[in-house]
Structure formats: C-alpha cells, structure tokens
Structure 1
Amino acid sequence: MRVAIIGGGISGISTAFLLENLKNELNLDMEITIIEKRLRWGGSIETSREDGFIVEAGPNGFLDSKPHTLELLSMAGLSNNLVKSNDLARKRYIMRNGILHRLPENPPMFFKTKLLSFSAKMRILSEYFIQKSVLEDESVADFARRRLGKEALEYLISPMVSGIFAGDPEKMSLRSCFPVIRDLEINYGGLFKGMIKKKGKKSGPSGPGGILTSYKNGLDNMITDLLESTSITKMLNTEVFSIDKKINRYILNTNKGIMEFDKIFINAPAYAVSQMLSVLDKDLSRDLNNITYPPVFVAGFIFKPEDLEDPLDGFGYLIPHSENKRILGALFDSSIFPDRTRDGYKIVRTIMGGDKNRWIIEKSDDELIRMAFDDIKETLKIKREPYKIKYFRWEKAIPQYYIGHHKIVEKVEEFYKKFDDIFIGGNILYGVGINDCTRTSFMNVDRFKNLLNK
C-alpha cells in the first residue's frame, strides 16, 4: 500500500508520525511519502534565530489543556523538550482609550476593571436572564450583542476574534469558531447557566484554558524532531496540481511528474485543496476555494533593556478596532518565554493585517515596520529605535470560518462517502490552532485504521 501525505506543516507531519506508528503496530505493508510544495517543512510554523534571540513567525505555542499535541510528542519521546510559558503569561491586556487594562480573571477583578463601564458590566450579568434563541448559525458579533451587549462585543469578544483568527466578528461563524460557547446556549440555555452547571468539570466551559506551551529553542525544532523520528520518504519542492482516480489508485499530477498512490492524506490550505480536488468534485472544490485567507504581517522588535520603560508584565495586549490603531496587538515574547532572549533584552512581537485590514497588502515591509513601531512606541514608553527587527509577511495567513462554514464541513464528510481513501486535515475544517491540527490528524488516522478493519 502506497500512502501520500500532501503538506509538510504540523498537520502533515503529525499524520506521518501517527501513520508510521500504526504501520509498526499492525505490521502493515505500507510505504509512506510526505510531499511539501515549499523548500522547508513547517507550514505556518517558522522560527528565526539570530544572535541569541528567537522570534516566531507564526504561532507562539499551544495550550496544554487539550491532549493531542502533548500525546503526539509523548509518543515520539519528545516531551522533555517542551517549554512552559512564564506565569506572567496569565496577564493579558486590552486597550481602551489608549490605556492598557488587564483582562479580568475572576469576579472581583471584573467588578473593579475600568475596561468596561458600569452599565456594560450590568448588561453582561443580565446574560443569565436572556432567553435561549438558537439559530442554525450566526455571526460571533450577533451572538455577543444578543447575549452580552454591544460594549462586551467591542472590548472583549472582537479583540479575541482578532487574536485567534485575525478575523472580523461580523463575518465569523459562532458555530464553527467557538462551538463550545454555542453549545452552552444549546445545552444549558446560556453562558452563565452553563458555567454554573459545569463548575468543577475538567474542561473549561467558555473557552480555552491551560498553560501556553512551546518547544525548546523554537517551534520549528518540534517540526524537525517529529519528522526525523520517522523513516518515511520525504519530498520538498514538490507541488501537487491535481488528483484523479483510475480504478483503485489515485494519480497525482505534480511538478515532478505523475505519481500513483492508494491512499491520500491532504493537509494543505483550502485554496490548494480546491485545486487538487477540482477533477474529483467540482462542487466541493468551489466551496473550498471560497474560504478566504487575509494577509498578516508580523514584526518582532528587540530592544536593549534600557530602551524600553514598560516592564512587559504579562502576555501582551489586543486592540479593539475602534481604537484606530494599525496593529491588532502586541505579544511580550521575552516575558512569555524568557529563554527566547538574552542579557535582559526585550522582545515585542506585533501583529498587523487580518480581515479588516487588507490594506497592508499595498504597503512595503519598511512602511509596515514603521507603522507597527509607531503604534507601540507611546504605549510601551519606548525611548529609542529597536536593536534588531525580524519580520514576516504572510500573504494568506489564517482561514476564515464565515457563517455557513459548517456546510463546507458537511460537504467534506459527504465527499468521504465517494472517496473514502482520501483524508482532509489541516486547519481548514475544525479549528486553526496547533491543537486543532493535531486533533484532526488523530481523527484521520483513526478513520484510516477503522477502514482497514472493514
């Protein structure tokens, strides 16, 4: 049996590891090949190392409250390389009127915070009495306005959507982006009612918890170590243009020629999957192509200890759209993971762009760096220009789960009934984080295993 894994990010590599593990466990006659379009592995995970400083181009890590990434690394014998974030990472801030306010973590902090007005706090508390009204799907913004009020949307929910998806809450699907929150209304009648009834249960009812976790000397080392723990065939600089089926084999049309496989695991962006499946299912191909990816620009600013007055006491801050800043927020990387810097130097990583700020495409790298620096200069009391700058441009960054996204997921699941030897993973269906990607890889390998037993 010849198996192809298309895509060499965390999804593809975790699939490769799990498949080889299954092959050894069941003593399968299986040849596994992983194929990546680019000249490097990792996908959205990319790490810069220079002069003792570590700056991530994409995700900063993953939360340890979900099991799949931790289980994967444990299976690979790599758990000792995990790095927990500093306790300071608990402190997260939101900007209002140019001032950073700590995000409340408990009822006393909620009542004392100046992030929200008194009337907004009362409106949030009244959520307990809001009648249940469950739609098939609605925007995150509509849900927040309905249950929590306009101010909570502006200063709590909207920044959260920017921080996770770089998205617009008016377009994003509650059902697809935050299914746990939606389920609280469906199953318990509301957010507070759900939290009260679920109190003491292990999983948090309203959103992700846990400790942010990374990997020794940067996340790309996790990619390298996972891949090197396998003995599969590896192919870089290999682009798959389309997939066709002849009798019981899949034909891959690539820039390296025609390749034939029995099973296909696709872990690529939606627009690439769309192109690959255009021969097999034109309808699904069209829907996948409609999943949009906004641009994102990441700039890591490294400062000498004396050049930045702010102690960077926390995880970082997010900025509501109404503040009219050009960045979505800033992460205090040297506070979150102190091993990413040296000699007291401080690292601030800014995020720009997203669905509401597609104008960044028209700006040069230098212009965006200057804008980002100007936006943090006053907020963080920066005295001088940065010691070093590392920047990364993502023309297509994070898939946006718009209202109706669940219908695309349903079409993929219908597609499997016709082509049960194809498995679609990555971050285009069930979540965009590292944990979501590894969970989907486990799901796909489990489905593959179940098909073997039929």
Structure 2
Amino acid sequence: MIGIIGAGISGLSLAYHLQKLDIPYILLEASEQAGGYIRTIQDNSTNHRAYVLEQGPNSIMVDSEIQQIIEELGIDEELLPSNDVSQNRYIFKNGKYRKLPAKPSKLLFNRFFSFSSKLAIFKERRRPKQTIENETLSQFFERRFSKEIVDYALNPFVAGIYAGDPEQLLMHKTFAQLHEYEQNYGSVIKGLIKNKSVERRHTSSFKKGMQTLPKAFAQKLDRLKLSLQVTNVQKTTSGYTIHTNDEQTFQVNQLVVATAAPAAQQFLAESFPAFSQALGKIYYPPMVAVHSTYKRDAIKHPLDGFGGLNPKIEGLYTAGSIWTSSIFSGRCPEDEVLFTTFVGGTQSPQHTTNSKQITLGKVHQELSEHYQISASPLYQNLCKWDQAIPQYDLNILDAHRIADELEQEQLFVCANWKDGISLPDCIKKGKKLATKLAEKYSPKVVNE
C-alpha cells in the first residue's frame, strides 16, 4: 500500500490516479476538508447579496490534459471560462494603471516601455548564451533584456503570482522553461518562436468557485481520511509506519509527502533529521487577501482586464488587485464590482502585521485613489495566510536535493514546494507520480 500524507490538490490528484490504476493507497489529511489552500466562501450575509470569494487560487489554466481530468470528475458543466477582457493586464506606472501589451511582439510598438528597453527586446536574440549557476530572475532578465523590464514587468508579475521577489527566486527553478530556451536555443525569444505551436491554455474557474475541484476529487476517493494528523513516520524493513494523533498506525510500502514543508518538517524529524532540517529552511511569506465590493457606477475606471499589478518601485501598500467580477460572471451582483487585493508577500511582509481595520482602510484608500472610486465599499472581507507560497530560492535547494535522493528509500514528494506551484503543475505531478509508482509497485506488507 502507498501512504499519502496531505490532501491538498497534489495529494488528491495522486490518490485519484492511483485509484484509477487499482493501486492500493491511504490518503491522510489533518484538516476537516480536502483541498489545502483552495478555499471558496459563498457569502450571502450582506443584505441578501451573494458573493463568491476565493481565499486561495482564483483560477486555473486549463489545457487538454486538465480538461480531460475535469471531465472525468464530472464537473465539466460547472467549468466557468473567463471573459474576453481577462487577456488585458494592467501595471501601475507613474501614478496610473497602464495596459501591458498582451503579446511579446507588441511590446516593440507600444508606449509602455522606453525606446532603450524596446531595443533590448529586439537585440535579445543576438545576445550570447550564458550559464550562470543559481542565477536569480532579476539577474537573468536584466542580462537578457533591461532593468526597466525587471522593474515594471517581471517584479509585479512575480509578486502577484508567486508572492515573491525576483531578486531572490532562482531562474532554473521558477521559470525552468525560459531558462531552457536560452540554453537550448541561445535566446528566450527564439525559444518562444520555436515553441509557439505549444497548446494554448485558457483561464477558467467554476460556477460555485474553485473549491469545486478538490471537492470533486475527494468525492471520487475510497480511502481518504480527514481530521487525522500525522505525528511521526518511522522507517521499517518493509516500508514505513505512519503514526497519527489518535494513535492509529498505518503500514505502507511507499510513502508520499504531499503536505506543506512546515508540516512535513515535524513528522519527518525523527526518521529523516537532515531532510527535516532542510524543509525548515523553505520560506513561506505571509500574505493577506482582501475582497472589496463597490457599486459599479461609483468607479470611473473601466476595469477591462484581469487586474492591476503594483511594481515595488512605485511604493504602494498593496501588491495589486484582481478584478474578479471582470474576469468571471456571477461573483457578485451585476450592479457591483469585486476586487481581490493582495497585501504582503516576500517584498513587503511587514504590511501583513497591521490590524484588520488598518489593512481594510489602506486597501480601500489605494483602490479609491487609483480607480477613481467615489463611494465606500459595500462589503470587505479579509483572509490571512501566515505561510502562503513556498519560495524557490537558494533556501529550497537542499530540500529538493534530499527529496530526489530519498526516492531510493521509497519516499516521494508530491507538493507545491517541488516541481511547480501552479494548480496544473500540482495536478499533473500527481498523475505522473501515480504512473511512476504503479510501474514499480510491489506490495510486501499487510494494509493495516
């Protein structure tokens, strides 16, 4: 039997695909519900107005592989594609939100970047290839493009998607594909052109919110145990013994760690002290998400896009906002708009220490100033993650190295702190690992 600890989206996908392959497993989850950071609130408390609020991921990029899994789960009718305006991205620059060209080719014919940056983009294909160990995102993009592109494109994107700092995140870990383009083709742009036929993906959610996805996975599973916290893992001659907080034990042949690193650090401390110590080095910055709704006629900005991101160099309090009601229908009443605003992350963790009242006030102040809002919010909701997204920086390298080595001892990792943080990454790595485990599966012990 295969023991999986953690029923976030990675663990759920792994268990689901093992079950499809008729491989016995047990999936243990400490909380009362599966899904990890994917949490949807449907709030009807404000004068009977219905809000669909995401505390975690707001959307998922769907390609044919993810689409097939969604159909297998029976939730394809619940899939909610994004509206056309979501292709537009705005960046705060020189006191206002400006539209960033949707395609790299249009950057050369747009006023967003200076002439020198456009020239740098044009010349990128002729720059010599370099191999720099543990190069950061900032170093890579400044070397191949320009400092302005780092400040006004890379920085806000990394803060918004990864809650990260491009001066710390590693290129070969965070943007592995772009890193490979330089190594394989000598240029990022050449790599993009060579691979332009790569299957297109579309931004989607679900009519009742993102939590539809983990719920559907969980409902398909025969051996999911909730509210069962793993306290210790012991190595045995035939595999592993998993100990839980209610003194249950599970004997397994292979062990898969699918929890966040801080949780794994605790239950692996006795049997794998070096791995546990390495896991303790992984940094998860704090992040606050604030949902704010306003009357549509009180806002002058057209909100014709996915959202607005705030470069660190502009010195704003928030990292940016997703224009949730512009992207997806049914997130709030039609005469209102819903913003999801992010505060904190690696670049400004100190902003998450303010009280709820101060944070809500500062968010409203920035929104009203930069989107020309003439009224108070109808509704505000705050969610704080003390440990949000794992950072693929120098501190994560030891954990990745040891995790690879421990596969020889039948211990595997299927979590967002290794091999990608996005929802598609996590779902696909679960499927891939299920196939790998099925190929080598050889039961040696009784199930329990």
- Shorter chain as denominator, the TM-score bin is over 0.9
| Deviation at residue 405 of structure 1 after TM alignment | 4.0
2:51 pairs with 1:56: no
d(CA) in 1 for partners of 2:334, 2:69: 34
Match of 1:73 in 2: 70
| Counterpart residue number, 1:425 | 414
Which of 85, 92, 95 matches 1:95? 92
Match of 1:124 in 2: 121
Aligned mates of 1:359, 1:170 — CA distance in 2: 18
User: Corresponding residue for 1:366?
Assistant: 357
Q: What is the rounded CA distance, in whole Å, between the counterparts of 2:296 and 2:189 in structure 1? A: 43
Q: 1:254 to 1:106 in 2, by over 3 A?
A: closer
3-state SS in 2 of match to 1:378: helix
Kindly indicate whether the alpha-carbon contact (under 8 Å) linking 1:68 and 1:438 is maintained by their aligned counterparts in 2.
no
Q: Distance in 1 between matches of 2:33 and 2:195?
A: 44
Aligned with 1:400: secondary structure?
coil
Contact between 1:101 and 1:113, CA under 8 Å: does it hold in 2? no
Summarize deviations over 1:207-266 as a string: whole Å, max 9, x none. Answer: xx6211112210112221221122224222x22122112232422232111412213322
Offset of 1:290 from its aligned partner?
A: 0.7
Aligned counterpart for 1:33 among listed residues 17, 26, 29: 26
1:116 Cα offset (Å):
1.3
Distance 2:251 2:375 in 1: 57
SS at match of 1:274: helix
Say whether residues 1:186 and 2:152 are aligned partners.
Answer: no
Structure 2 counterpart of 1:60, which letter? N
Partner residue, 1:376: 367
Name the structure 2 match of 1:206.
none
Identify the match of residue 259 of structure 2 among 240, 246, 268.
268
Residues 1:165 and 2:162 are matched in the alignment: yes
226, 229, 242: which is aligned to 2:232? 242
8 Å CA contact retained: 1:295, 1:360? no
Give the whole-Å Cα distance in 2 for the aligned partners of 1:68 and 1:409: 26
Structure 1 counterpart of 2:146, from 144, 149, 172 = 149
Alpha-carbon distance in 1 for matches of 2:331, 2:136: 37
Q: In the alignment, which residue of structure 2 is the partner of 1:9?
A: 8
Taking the aligned partners of 1:348 and 1:315, their CA distance within structure 2 comes to 10
d(CA) in 2 for partners of 1:332, 1:242: 43
After TM superposition, the structure 1 stretch with the greater mean CA deviation from structure 2, 172-181 or 68-77, is: 68-77
Amino acid at match of 1:48: I
Letter in 1 for 2:437: F
Looking at structure 1, the residues matched to 385 and 177 of structure 2 have their Cα atoms a distance apart, in angstroms, of 29
**Which residue of the partner structure matches residue 19 of structure 1?**
18
2:242 to 252, 259, 268: 252
Once the 2 structures are TM-superposed, how far is the Cα of residue 315 of structure 1 from its aligned partner?
0.4
Structure 2 letter corresponding to 1:198: N
Would the alpha carbon gap of residues 385 and 143 (structure 1) be closer, same or farther in structure 2, given more than 3 Å must change?
A: same
Q: Which amino acid aligns with 1:166?
A: A
Q: In the aligned structure 2, how far is the partner of 1:35 from the partner of 1:298?
A: 28
CA deviations over 1:126-167 (Å, ceiling 9, x no partner): 212211111232100100111101111101111111122110
Deviation at 1:321, TM superposition (A): 0.1
- 2:61 aligned partner, one-letter code: L
Range with greater deviation from structure 2 (33-42 or 347-356): 33-42
Kindly state the Cα deviation for residue 7 of structure 1 after the two structures are TM-superposed.
1.3
How far apart are the structure 1 equivalents of 2:161 and 2:72? Answer: 28
Partner of 1:356: 347
- For the pair 1:451 / 2:440, whether they are aligned, the reply is yes
2:286 partner amino acid: P
| Corresponding position: 1:202 with 2:198 | yes
Moved more, 324-333 or 261-270: 261-270
Asked if structure 2 preserves the Cα contact closer than 8 Å seen for 1:332 and 1:347, the reply is yes
Give 1:365 shift.
1.6
* Cα deviation code 1:13-40 (max 9, x no counterpart): 22221122111xxxx5x3x432222233
Structure 1 residue runs without a partner (length 5+): 204-208
Native 8 Å contact 1:124 1:152 kept in 2: no
Q: Structure 2: how far apart are the matches of 1:249 and 1:172? A: 35
Q: Is the 8 A contact 1:266 1:423 kept in 2?
A: yes
Q: Is the 8 A contact 2:282 2:395 kept in 1?
A: no
CA distance in 2, matches of 1:314, 1:233: 39
In the superposition, relative to structure 1, how do residues 451 and 107 fare at CA in structure 2: closer, same or farther (>3 Å)?
closer
TM-score where L is the length of structure 1: 0.91
Is contact 2:281–2:396 with CA below 8 Å preserved after alignment? no
For the 8 Å contact 2:278–2:396, the answer to whether it is kept is: no
Aligned to 2:446: none
In 2, Cα distance between the equivalents of 1:253 and 1:197? 50
The aligned residue for residue 320 of structure 2 is 329
Aligned residues of 1:299 and 1:349 also touching (Cα < 8 A): yes
Is there any run of 5+ residues in structure 2 with no aligned partner, and where?
Answer: 45-49, 444-448
- Say if 1:150 and 1:107 are closer, same or farther in 2 by CA, change over 3 A: closer
Q: What stretches of structure 1 move > 6 A for 4+ residues in a row?
A: none
Shift of 1:344: 2.3
Distance of 1:453 and 1:103 partners within structure 2: 53
Distance 1:79 1:198 in 2: 28
The 3 A distance-change label for structure 1 pair 107 and 62 is: closer
8 Å CA contact 2:265–2:276 kept in 1: the answer is: yes
